[in-house]
Amino acid sequence: MKIKIKIMPHLKSIILCSIIPFSIYCSNELNNDENRAQYLFENLMCPVCDGQTISESQAQLAKNMRDIVRIKIEEGLTDDQILDYFKSKYGTSVLSNPPKSGFYFTVWLIPIIVLPSIFIGLIFLIKSLINPQKEN
């Protein structure tokens, strides 16, 4: 009897110490899935809404898309596979960030080229207005 009494407090501690990490792991796993879902909601545009992601939209289609995202995450698909699924169903316009290849590469390059060009042009314009060149 005395042996059992001495083991019981230690056994309780061992069980408690093994349950806590498991519950933390499960909690992190659920949190990770929800973070992935939120990331995907922000990266998918609502096909029937004007300029809204599915996280912002209250349209029924957006709600259905959010449900599909959660189902695909539970099935174990990666973020890229889920985005590809929606891209194949609705086209590339469903992606909030266009792909960085093909024609869409120019969409990414235009701001990089145009904005500095406008800035340089404005500098020359301001200089010419401040210091006009005198003609002979």
Separation CA 128–CA 2 (nearest Å): 98
User: Measuring CA to CA, which residue among 33, 111, 25, 125 is closest to residue 73?
Assistant: 33
Separation CA 28–CA 25 (nearest Å): 5
User: Measuring CA to CA, which residue among 86, 64, 96, 76 is closest to residue 32?
Assistant: 76
Mean pLDDT by 10 residues, the chain (136 residues): 56 57 50 91 92 92 95 95 94 82 74 88 89 68
Residue extents of the structural domains in the chain: 2-97, 100-136
Query: What's the confidence (pLDDT) of residue 133?
Result: 72
Owner of token pair 């992606």:
95
Query: What's the confidence (pLDDT) of residue 110?
Result: 84
Are the C-beta atoms of residues 115 and 102 closer than 8 Å to each other?
Answer: no
Query: What's the confidence (pLDDT) of residue 30?
Result: 47
Query: What's the confidence (pLDDT) of residue 43?
Result: 94
Q: Both tokens of residue 42?
A: 């922000």
Query: What's the confidence (pLDDT) of residue 114?
Result: 87
Q: Both tokens of residue 89?
A: 């169903």
Q: Which fold has domain 2-97?
A: Helicase, Ruva Protein; domain 3 (1.10.8)
Separation CA 79–CA 75 (nearest Å): 12
CA–CA distance from 14 to each of 10, 11, 17, 21, 102 (Å)?
A: 6, 5, 5, 12, 58
Cβ-proximal residues to 66 (8 Å cutoff; 6+ apart), any chain: 37, 41, 54, 55
Query: What's the confidence (pLDDT) of residue 82?
Result: 95
Query: What's the confidence (pLDDT) of residue 77?
Result: 94
